[in-house]
Structure 1
Amino acid sequence: MSTLSPSSWSRPMRRATLALAFGATTLAAQAQWPDKPVHLVLSFPPAGATDILARAIGQKMAEGLGQSVLVENKPGAGGNIGLQYAAKSPADGYTVYMAAVTNAAIAAAAYPPQSSHLVKDFVPVAGVAIVPHMLVVPASLPARDVRELIALLKGAPGKHNFASQGQGTLSHLESELFKGAAGLDIVHVPYKGSSQALPDLMAGSSSMMFDSIPASMPHVKSGKLRVLAVASSKRMAMLPDVPTVAESGLPGFSADNVFGLMVPKGTPPAAIAALTKAARAALDTPELKQRMLEQGVELRYTPAEDFAKVVDQEFRVWGKAVEQAKVKLE
Structure 2
Amino acid sequence: MICQTPGSAHPSLRPVTQRVLAGLVIGAATLLGSVAHAAYPDRPIQLVLSFPPAGATDILARAVGQKMSESLGQTIVVENRPGAGGNIGLAYAAKAAPDGYTIYMAAVTNAAIAAAAYSAQSAHLIKDFVPVAGVATVPHMLVIPSSLPVQNVRQLISYFKAAPGKYNFASQGAGTLSHLESEVFKAATGVDLVHVPYKGSSQALPDLLAGRSSMMFDSIPASMPHVKSGKLRVLAVASGKRVGMLPNVPTVDESGVKGFEANNLFGIEAPKGTPAAVIATLSKAIQTALNSPELKQRMEAQGVELKFTPADEFGRMVDKEFRTWGKAVEMAKVKLD
Distance 1:35 1:3 in 2: 46
State the partner residue of 1:292.
299
State the partner residue of 1:259.
266
SS across alignment from 2:282: helix
Please tell me the residue identity of whatever aligns with 2:103.
V
State the partner residue of 1:234.
241
State the partner residue of 2:138.
131
Map residues 9-88 of structure 1 onto 2, 5 A cutoff: 12-88=19-95
State the partner residue of 1:113.
120
Deviation at 1:19, TM superposition (A): 2.1
State the partner residue of 2:329.
322
SS across alignment from 1:99: strand
CA distances 1:56-112 after superposition (whole Å, capped 9, x unpaired): 000000000000000000000000000000000010001110000000000000001
Correspondent of 1:98 among 82, 92, 105: 105
**TM-score with structure 2 length normalisation?**
0.95
**TM-score with structure 1 length normalisation?**
0.97
SS across alignment from 1:248: coil
The percent of aligned pairs where both chains have the same amino acid is: 69
Distance 1:95 1:223 in 2: 40
Please tell me the residue identity of whatever aligns with 1:64.
S
User: Which segments of structure 1 move beyond 6 Å, counting only runs of 4 or more?
Assistant: none
Please tell me the residue identity of whatever aligns with 1:202.
L
State the partner residue of 1:271.
278
State the partner residue of 2:3.
none
Matched, 1:150 2:168: no
Deviation at 1:18, TM superposition (A): 3.0
Matched, 1:281 2:264: no
Distance 1:62 1:285 in 2: 13
- The number of aligned residues is 327
Distance 1:51 1:19 in 2: 46
Correspondent of 2:210 among 203, 206, 227: 203
Correspondent of 1:244 among 213, 233, 251: 251
SS across alignment from 1:85: helix
Deviation at 1:12, TM superposition (A): 4.1
CA distances 1:266-289 after superposition (whole Å, capped 9, x unpaired): 112221111111100000001100
Distance 1:58 1:292 in 2: 13
Distance 1:117 1:53 in 2: 22
Distance 1:3 1:95 in 2: 54
Deviation at 1:265, TM superposition (A): 1.1
Gaps of 5+ in 2: 1-5
Please tell me the residue identity of whatever aligns with 1:163.
A
Distance 1:245 1:115 in 2: 34
SS across alignment from 1:120: coil
SS across alignment from 1:321: helix
Q: Which has the larger radius of gyration?
A: 2
Indicate the RMSD between aligned Cα atoms, in angstroms. Answer: 1.3
Correspondent of 2:314 among 273, 293, 307: 307
Deviation at 1:210, TM superposition (A): 0.1
Correspondent of 1:188 among 187, 190, 195: 195
